[in-house]
């Protein structure tokens, strides 16, 4: 076991680094295409079908422009 605070500082620095690396890999997914987030047309792909094809991770965001 490490005595003093140097071990804690090292651990905190490592945790911060891991958080920055994880956030750098975040992706923003655009939902709904040109219509934005709305009720899709009868012949359009459903949001459930679209979501099944995606691989979401912590830090990702969903949005519409």
Q: What is the pLDDT of residues 15-48, one digit of tens each?
A: 887 777 766 777 887 776 666 677 777 888 877 8
In terms of residues, how long is the chain? 65
Q: What is the pLDDT of residue 18?
A: 78
- 27 CB contacts (<8 Å, ≥6 apart)? 57, 60, 61
Distance CA 11, CA 22 (A): 17
Largest CA distance in the chain: 66
Model-level pTM?
0.41
What are the helix (H) ranges across 1-65? 6-24, 47-53
Q: What is the pLDDT of residues 45-64, one digit of tens each?
A: 877 888 888 888 888 888 77
């Amino acid at each position: 076991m490490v005595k003093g605070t140097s071990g804690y500082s090292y651990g905190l620095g490592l945790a911060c680094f891991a958080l920055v690396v994880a956030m750098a890999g975040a992706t923003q997914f655009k939902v709904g295409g040109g219509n934005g987030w709305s009720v899709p047309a009868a012949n359009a792909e459903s949001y459930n079908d679209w979501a099944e094809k995606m691989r979401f991770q912590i830090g990702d965001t969903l949005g519409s422009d």
